[in-house]
Every structure is written in C-alpha cells, then in structure tokens.
Amino acid sequence: MQDGLKILFVFVDGLGLGSNDPAVNPLADRDRFPNIGKLLENSVPLDAALGVPGLPQSATGQAALLTGLNAAKLMGRHIEGFPPPRLKALVQEHNIFSKLLATGKTCTFANDYWLDDVAHIPRRRESVTTVATLAAFGGVRGKAELAANRAVYHDLTREKLRDRGYTGPLITPKEAAEHLIAIADDHDFTLFEFFETDHAGHSGDKEQVFQTLEKLDRFFATALLFNGLLIVTSDHGNIEDLSVRTHTMNPVPLFASQPEKFQPLENISQLAPAIIQVLV
Ligand SMILES: [Zn+2]
C-alpha cells in the first residue's frame, strides 16, 4: 500500500496493439499521434481473448477489467455490448468500486450522464461501467456535475451533447483532461471511459478514425501530466486494424505511468486485483 497514491484509470474501448504498417494501423504513424504513441511504446501487451474462442467483446471484456474475473470463461462465450442479467449480477457483486469502498477508499466514475435524475438510467443504457457505478454508488454524475466541470462527457469536448439539448460551452480535449485530473486528485481511484475509438473502428471510416485518435491524442497530452498513477488499457482490439471493421484478436496495451507498481500481468482480468493491491 502507498499512502495517498491516486489512480486514474482511462479505459479506451477497442484499442489493441497492432501491426507497424500505417496502411493497416493508423497508430503506426507515431508522429501523428505522439501522446498515444508514448503510451503504446511504454505499454505491455495484455491478452483479451481470455482462453475463450471467438473475437473478444465489450460486455465480457469490460466485466473482466472491472471485476478481476474471467467473465468470458464464466459466461461460456464473449458477449457484446450491454451485459445480460447473469453478467450484470457478477458486475454488481464483484466490481472494483464496491471492493475499494469496502476498504475505506474513495472512488468514482468520472463520466457524465446527460440526466437530471442520476439514479434512474434507462435499462437499455446500462453498460458494464454503468452497472458497476450504480451498484457501488447508487447514482452517476449528471447535468449538475457537468455544469460545474465535475464530470467529463464521454466524447471529451461535449460536442455530441449538442444533439441532446446541451447549450453550454464546448471544451477542448485539454480542458477535459484538466477536469478529469481535478476529479482524480480528489479520489483514491477514478475511472473514465472513452468509447469513440470502438465506434470509429466499426465505422470503417478513415476520416472518423483519424479525427477520433487526434482528439484522444490531445487529451492524453494533458492526462499524461497526472501526478498519480495513470493507467490506460482496453477491452479488445479494433481501431488498430483498419483492414477489418470487427474487433481483433490483438492483445491490448496496458500503460502504467509507474509500471513498477505492478507485477507482470498477462490478461485483462488480472488488472483489477492488481489495482486493489496497489491501493489497499
Ligand atoms: Zn469494447
């Protein structure tokens, strides 16, 4: 245990370690994405396939990241999108937030939900992170927190919120990272989820891929200045292989700004217990 250590965990959906060929992997062009490049160059590969046949998927991958359980193996397959009831129950019972709270640590999910009533989220929108957050805290960060810059919208800049009636200012990726760091400074463990990488990978639209990665790169220019332990990883590959529009079998990168804190890890289900061990 290290007294006072703060952990900021940035979960980037659909980011694998891919080939060095820029024709296939947009991230092979390190000059274009210097900050993501720095993360990737200083990362170790984690297996996301978890010994289960087929392409790794989001619901089981994210459940593995947030519970420390091999969710794909427990469910007998990789499960896409939002978790079905049995997987939801696993996340409710074993998530890292609840475990940390039980030891007296403070933690939070920094993402904003565009809601007034933050305890009632439409069921269809309950991703693994939402299920974990509701199980641990009974609510999420909503409109009031966003207005006070105490929440970060998933797209970083709030542009996507325009369609949903947001009339406040747009912010830069740098400002989004500053807001996130301020939240992380106040908690032992903070999670932020960015999933436009996965959407861009599925779109097959190169323009969307490059715009998404450029925005994320600008965000990381500042997020990398976080004074505590910054962790970045993913649930499965996708955006690093533009030759397919599906997820990939590639390992995902695990970046830790203080890598000496962790024993070598092999797969995504080993990260949550390692984080708990560092903090508790
Ligand atoms: Zn995913």
Distance 202 CA to ligand 1 centre (A): 11
Q: CATH number of the domain that 117 lies in?
A: 3.40.720.10
Asked whether 231 and 272 are in contact (CB, 8 A), the reply is: no
Q: Does 192 map to a domain? A: yes
Distance 244 CA to ligand 1 centre (A): 15
For residue 232, what is the DSSP state? E
Distance 254 CA to ligand 1 centre (A): 15
pLDDT digits (tens, 9 = 90+) for 18-57: 999 999 999 999 899 999 999 999 999 999 999 999 999 9
pLDDT at 123: 67
Distance 67 CA to ligand 1 centre (A): 15
Q: Does 160 map to a domain? A: yes
Distance 264 CA to ligand 1 centre (A): 23
Task: Please give the mean pLDDT across all residues of the chain.
Answer: 95
Q: Is 110 helix (H, G, I), strand (E, B) or coil?
A: coil
Q: Does 1 map to a domain? A: no
Distance 239 CA to ligand 1 centre (A): 11
Q: Does 65 map to a domain? A: yes
Task: Return the residue matching tokens 């990883």.
Answer: 233
pLDDT at 115: 86
Other Cβ atoms less than 10 A from the Cβ of 280: the count is 13
Task: Give me the mean pLDDT over the 95-116 stretch.
Answer: 96
Q: Does 2 map to a domain? A: no
Give the domain extent around 246: 7-279
Distance 143 CA to ligand 1 centre (A): 25
Q: Does 96 map to a domain? A: yes
β-strand pairing of 229-233 with 252-256? antiparallel
pTM: 0.97
Q: Does 38 map to a domain? A: yes
Q: Does 20 map to a domain? A: yes
pLDDT of residue 157 exceeding 80, the answer is yes
Work out the pLDDT band at 3, boundaries 50, 70, 90.
Answer: low
How many Å apart are CA 84 and CA 89, to the nearest integer?
A: 9
Q: Domain total for the chain?
A: 1
